Amino acid sequence: MNAREARGSIGRERTSGAPQRRTLSALRLSAAAALLALLLSACSGGGQPPQAAPGAAAGAQGGQAEAGGAPAGTGDTGSASGEALGGSGEAGTSAAPAEGAEAGTSGAENPPPAEAALPGLDASGRPLVIGFSMDTLLEERWKKDRDLFRAAAEKLGAQVVVKSADGDDARQVAQAEAMISQGVDVLVVVPHNAEATAAIVSKAHKEGIKVLSYDRLITNADVDLYVSFDNVEVGRLQAKAMLSLVPEGNYAYIGGAATDNNAHQFKQGVFDILQPLIDRGDIRIVYDQWSKDWKPLYALDNMREALAANGPTGIDAVIAANDATGGSVVEALGERGLAGKIPVAGQDADLAAIRRIAAGTQTMTVYKPIGRLAEETAKLAVALAQGEKPLTSRWVNNGKIEVPSILLPPIAVDANNIDSTVIKDGFHTRAEVYGSGK
């Protein structure tokens, strides 16, 4: 079965090969009804020949039609869904008609009116299947993305198959290839390596499947759509927050993964703001290093190295590329008794970071309302699968093309607006941030 055939089978219910035991049940019901009619006629003394009840006759005819059809267990069009999505554990499949249900009344043939109106269904009423290829689920932020995206897509009537590559380039490409061959209708990709995942786009397009780049941009590929936050603005917000506290002094920058386009955009935003002050001599960058694969352990090593090279009084502010690396910065500062004494910026609004901000060991983070990101992406993925071309007003160059893009605004968060941002939105609860007693 090729990818197009697989897409045609995903989500369909069984429409042929009715079990023989249902046929036998119908025939037995017909015979019982006829016998009952005969007994009633005999008791009433009527001279008219006994007639089978209309329902019994219909049941007998239905049973004969099923008996004359395909043998039980053959022609099961619904099983392709389970095969196509086997092993994912993420997408639901339509169930066979319940025992005793009438022939010809499956949901695939007669979908409920309300369900038929859902945009996540194709022209035949089959749920569209979205493949969601993720870099990792090790960080809190990405688990939220997965859950919010799935909920948003399912609300539209679509199904979602989720695969996490655990930070492995080859695994992510292989997982995406499997979803392509299994017949997903559209692919949504959070790339681990912006360059390596270009192969996914090429393979998907050969099968007529469009690719949406989620949060992180796939580079050097004909990506159909990019949905994210304004990541350059994220860096600008970090730098502005630090400058409001440390307008002059020594800055350390703890970057993210050099293979992630977002990491470069964050850094670009930071230096858009800092560079004029660097040129003027007000700000000095005393440390600047990437953290491989965004791993906190590498960020911890980087910050320890920065402190060793500059001494306990040689760093006045630290900007970390996300909250996970920011946590490592705070840990390294804590080892020298400096936690809470040197301003630290992060981004993602992870719960641990919000708690550090409340405790005074991290200065700020950048909140990106991923619920909105997930909802927008789900709608756009369904539109792409339906052959629509979403309207965009921005484009981002990925090294090959100007990718149509939708960029959502990020929000700076510090101790003064935790309640009015992440708590108000339900991203974190007040009890989670401050404890159950607050």
Using one digit for the tens of pLDDT, what is the confidence trace for 56-68?
A: 333 333 333 333 3
Confidence band for 1, pLDDT divided at 50, 70 and 90: low
Residue range 302-345, pLDDT digits in tens? 999 999 999 989 999 999 999 999 999 999 999 999 999 999 99
44: CB partners within 8 A, 6+ apart:
none
Please give the residue that has the higher pLDDT: either 113 or 413.
413
Q: What are 123's two structure tokens?
A: 């022209």
Can you name the CATH fold of 118-223+371-409? Rossmann fold (3.40.50)
Average pLDDT taken over every residue of the chain:
81
Contact of 67 with 23, CB cutoff 8 Å:
yes
Residue-wise over 229-255: b if at least 16 C-beta within 10 A, else e? bbbbbbbbbbbbbbbeebeebbbbbbb
Percentage of the chain with pLDDT > 90? Answer: 69
Reply yes or no on whether the pLDDT at 88 is more than 50. no
Reply yes or no on whether the pLDDT at 259 is more than 80. yes
Q: What is the dihedral of CA 239, 243, 247, 248, to 10 degrees?
A: -30
Reply yes or no on whether the pLDDT at 261 is more than 60. yes
Residue range 156-182, pLDDT digits in tens? 999 999 999 999 999 999 999 999 999
End-to-end CA gap in the chain? 58
**Where does 231-368+412-434 sit in CATH, by number?**
3.40.50.2300
Helix or strand or coil: residue 348? coil
Can you give the pTM of this predicted structure? 0.70
Task: Return the pLDDT at 122.
Answer: 77
Distances, alpha carbon 335 to alpha carbons 72, 112, 207, 256, 360, in Å: 70, 62, 54, 22, 16
Report the C-alpha gap between 96 and 78 in whole angstroms.
Answer: 8
If we measure between CA atoms, which residue out of 298, 285, 243, 278 comes closest to residue 412? 243
Confidence band for 369, pLDDT divided at 50, 70 and 90: very high
Task: Return the pLDDT at 104.
Answer: 36
Helix or strand or coil: residue 247? coil
- Domain regions of the chain by residue span: 17-69, 118-223+371-409, 231-368+412-434
Q: Mean per-residue pLDDT for 286-313? A: 98
Element (H, E) at 211: strand 210-214
**Domain 118-223+371-409 shares a fold with domain 231-368+412-434:** yes
Phi/psi of residue 364, nearest 5 degrees:
-155, 165
Burial tier of 63 (Cβ tally within 10 Å: 0-12, 13-18, 19+):
buried
Report the C-alpha gap between 160 and 187 in whole angstroms.
Answer: 10
Confidence band for 216, pLDDT divided at 50, 70 and 90: very high
Burial tier of 124 (Cβ tally within 10 Å: 0-12, 13-18, 19+):
exposed
Report the C-alpha gap between 311 and 66 in whole angstroms.
Answer: 84
Residue range 96-107, pLDDT digits in tens? 333 333 333 333
Q: What are 166's two structure tokens?
A: 């655990």
